[in-house]
């Protein structure tokens, strides 16, 4: 009997040991995927990670999305594949993943009608070897969440301003790949700028500057007064950097906030933090530890750090530094300009390219 039990035990252990590891695994990030509400759509801002353990280079040939409501009823189905003269799969800029490597793929279906009650999103990725003889498929479910901004926010500037580069699918803030080896080696583990804005004051015609724009003074917004977007306490600030549109990249690994040049961080006291970047040298008014009220002047627009030109980089996140994950932000009481007319926004985000003005 003992021999039989031992044999069973060895057999069970052997069976467990020989369970094959999937050749291709699929995961997503961040842990919480927020539904960002816009007037004309709802956006999902996240990425996929493909790990290739097949032993050979693979290429994505097809991605299919099936969206379901709370009752698991199909809402729509979308795909990118290799069909046609200029196949849609070519819209994925990186499709190949080497053996033993990981590939990041930004969600290729970022926008949906605001009427769709998104509850479960099922994604299927199909990959194949270069000769087409080996094919692999991996699937994953993503359950997006709705979130209301806890802080009562207002725009950080008076007058008309454009969101020069926001966080839509094509924006550089959205496409910060923290798994890219040179970035990961610096210690980045999340996209802290996932929902960022680059706000630039404009004149009545929508121009950001006079002349060539080579000099900071050419910009209408250089030195413009910045306001506290919401009540909070200053928990970090830097203001000694020159407005020379430069930063020392060698410092990124030890001090990643150097990207922002001069900056200010507000703790809103509810798990939300506001970050103001590229501030004008010596322009920050409050001190660390000081409480500010919504609408109170706090600093001026500059061109310090990684700024290409004078502007305000603003983001809301769940922590005070670059180890945080970004959060969607909704501002109250402003107007979106459409030519000579404006549309009232009671509580909304600001899309890339949109010209807005606080009431």
* Paired tokens of 220: 């209408």
Helix (H) or strand (E) holding 135: strand 135-142
Residues 226 and 280 sit within 8 Å (Cβ to Cβ): no
Distance CA 224, CA 37 (A): 29
pLDDT 10s digits, 53-100: 999 999 999 999 999 999 999 999 999 999 999 999 999 999 999 999
User: What is the average per-residue pLDDT within 315-327?
Assistant: 96
Tell me: the pLDDT tens digits for 5-35?
Answer: 434 343 444 445 555 678 999 999 999 999 9
The answer to whether residue 240 scores a pLDDT higher than 50 is: yes
- pLDDT tens per residue across span 122-158: 999 999 999 988 999 999 999 999 999 999 999 999 9
Q: Give the integer Cα–Cα distance in Å for 198 and 171.
A: 10
pTM greater than 0.85: yes
Q: What is the CB neighbour count within 10 angstroms for residue 103?
A: 20
Closest CA to 66 of 139, 147, 168: 139
**Range of lowest pLDDT (177-186, 299-308, 324-333):** 177-186
Residue 1 has pLDDT above 50, yes or no: no
Q: Reply yes or no on whether the pLDDT at 165 is more than 50.
A: yes
């Amino acid at each position: 009997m003992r021999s039989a039990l031992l044999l069973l035990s060895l057999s069970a252990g052997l069976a467990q040991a020989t369970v094959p590891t999937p050749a291709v695994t699929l995961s997503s990030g961040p842990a919480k995927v927020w539904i960002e509400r816009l007037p004309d759509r709802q956006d999902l801002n996240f990425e996929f990670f493909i790990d290739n353990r097949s032993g050979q280079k693979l290429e994505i040939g097809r991605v299919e999305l099936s969206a379901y409501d709370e009752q698991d009823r199909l809402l729509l189905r979308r795909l990118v594949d290799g069909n046609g003269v200029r196949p849609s799969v070519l819209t994925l800029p990186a499709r190949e993943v080497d053996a033993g490597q990981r590939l990041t793929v930004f969600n290729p279906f970022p926008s949906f009608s605001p009427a769709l009650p998104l509850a479960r999103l099922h994604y299927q990725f199909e990959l194949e070897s270069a000769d087409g003889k080996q094919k692999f498929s991996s699937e994953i479910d993503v359950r997006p969440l709705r979130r209301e901004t806890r802080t009562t926010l207002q725009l950080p500037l008076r007058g008309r301003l454009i969101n020069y580069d926001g966080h839509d699918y094509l924006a550089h803030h959205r496409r910060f790949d923290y798994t890219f080896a040179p970035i990961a080696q610096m210690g980045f583990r999340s996209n802290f700028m996932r929902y960022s804005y680059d706000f630039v004051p404009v004149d009545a015609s929508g121009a950001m500057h006079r002349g060539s724009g080579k000099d900071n003074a050419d910009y209408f917004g250089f030195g413009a007064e910045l306001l506290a977007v919401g009540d909070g306490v200053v928990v970090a600030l830097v203001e000694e950097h020159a407005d020379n549109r430069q930063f020392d990249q060698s410092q990124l690994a030890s001090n990643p906030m150097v990207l922002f040049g001069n900056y200010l961080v507000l703790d809103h006291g509810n798990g939300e933090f506001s970050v103001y970047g590229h501030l004008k040298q010596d322009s920050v008014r409050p001190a660390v530890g000081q409480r500010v009220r919504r609408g109170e002047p706090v600093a001026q627009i500059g061109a310090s750090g990684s700024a290409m030109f004078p502007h305000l980089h603003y983001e809301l996140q769940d922590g005070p530094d670059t180890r945080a994950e970004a959060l969607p932000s909704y501002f109250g009481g402003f107007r979106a300009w459409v030519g000579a007319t404006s549309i009232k926004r009671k509580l909304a985000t600001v899309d890339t390219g949109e010209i807005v003005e606080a009431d």
